[in-house]
Amino acid sequence: MTISYLQRAYVGSAVAGTLSAALTSSATTFQSSTSMTGMTDLTGNNFAGNLVVTVDYGTANAEKILCTFNSSTGVFTIVTRNYDGGSYNTATPHASGTLFVVTASATEAAEANAAVQSMKHILTGGSSGTSASPANIAVDGTPSIGTATVPAHGDHSHSIPSTALSGWLSAATFTLGSGVSVPVANLQSGTLPSGVTVPLASIASGNLPASVSTSNVWTIGPWSSGTAPISTAITGYNDYIIVVTANATASTAANLYLNVNTSASSSMTSPTSRVATAQWATTTGSTALHNLSCSGAYSPGSTTTFYIQAALTASSGTATTNAVTVTVIGIN
């Protein structure tokens, strides 16, 4: 017996028939000499499926035959003789007038039981039977309909291994859709689309965008006379870019100094009070009006509070400051 899950027809108002002619070994069809009007297929498919007829029912010569039925002509077309593992010698014809009836088969019962057994783990909530083991989802894998013969629970889940996903993301080139976010730390190259903002503190290298958030920027000044005040305390980032610009006149070469200290002190103009990497100089040799600028990096650590002072000095003669502006950008 082979379980093949055939489409079947089921007759709820079966009528016994009698062979209109002898059923020989070479016969491919047979009919009833008596009316079989009224037989209906309860599946609603109008006998599109197979049904089983037993000829010589209830006798030693009984034979099950798998066949189809045409309800319009009353003709049965033979699919399989000796169905259900029968052993009738088909060389001996079933005589004309022999009784036959529509019957059930052990094969279809076995098919139904096999289907139930395959779903036993679902019907029992997983307490018995064989369960399917969900496989990991392969990133960019090849789609497949699969070959498993065990149904899966409706609430089963699959996993995408983080290592596989990370490997794919690091090698993939793709365009982010609307509403999708990616940590800035994972961006290595490329151009951000319009409307995307990145915290300045997260930018490790590269060019700053045209518009920088003011939450990371301190602008001190401008002042039109004297030395830039030291009252503004700066803290919160590990690394800073500091730019000082001055509009000044000097009778001789002038130096523009940017002093950084962890305390606000008027003595910051003294070299002994400057922290490492805190001094830069630009020189001019004219007594006319000049714009001086110097910049540098300072890395005090995110918990350190520091102060900035800009000062203009001349190697000899006088230097007059007209306007000084200091800009500090926290970048990490």
**Helix, strand, coil percentages for the chain (3-state, nearest 5):** 15, 30, 60
Rounded to an integer, what distance in angstroms lies between the CA atom of residue 102 and that of residue 271? 112
- What pLDDT digit, counting tens, does each position of 227-266 carry? 444 556 777 888 887 777 777 676 666 666 667 767 665 5
Strands (E) across the chain are located at 17-18, 29-30, 51-55, 63-70, 75-80, 99-103, 217-223, 240-250, 254-261, 289-298, 307-314, 319-330
CB 185 within 8 A of CB 202: yes
Closest by Cα among 247, 212, 239 to 296? 239
Neighbours of 76 (CB within 10 A): 24
Rounded to an integer, what distance in angstroms lies between the CA atom of residue 269 and that of residue 99? 122
Q: Where are the domains of the chain?
A: 1-132, 215-330
Strand partners, 287: none
Per-residue pLDDT tens digits of the chain, which is 332 residues long: 677 889 999 998 889 999 999 999 999 999 999 998 888 899 888 899 999 999 999 999 999 999 999 999 999 999 999 999 899 999 999 999 999 999 999 999 999 898 888 888 887 877 776 777 788 888 777 888 777 777 777 777 888 888 877 777 777 666 666 666 666 556 555 555 555 555 544 444 433 333 333 344 455 544 444 444 455 677 788 888 777 777 767 666 666 666 776 766 555 444 433 333 333 344 444 555 666 777 777 787 777 777 776 666 666 666 666 666 777 788 77
Strand partners, 259: 309
Residue length of the chain: 332
The SS3 of residue 60 is: coil
Strands of the sheet with 240-250, listed across from one edge: 217-223, 319-330, 240-250, 289-298
pTM of the model: 0.47
- DSSP per-residue string spanning 219-265: EEEEESSSSPP----B-S-S-EEEEEEEEEEESS-EEEEEEEESS--
CB 195 within 8 A of CB 177: no
The DSSP secondary-structure symbol of 186 reads: G
Q: Which fold has domain 215-330?
A: Jelly Rolls (2.60.120)
Rounded to an integer, what distance in angstroms lies between the CA atom of residue 121 and that of residue 126? 4
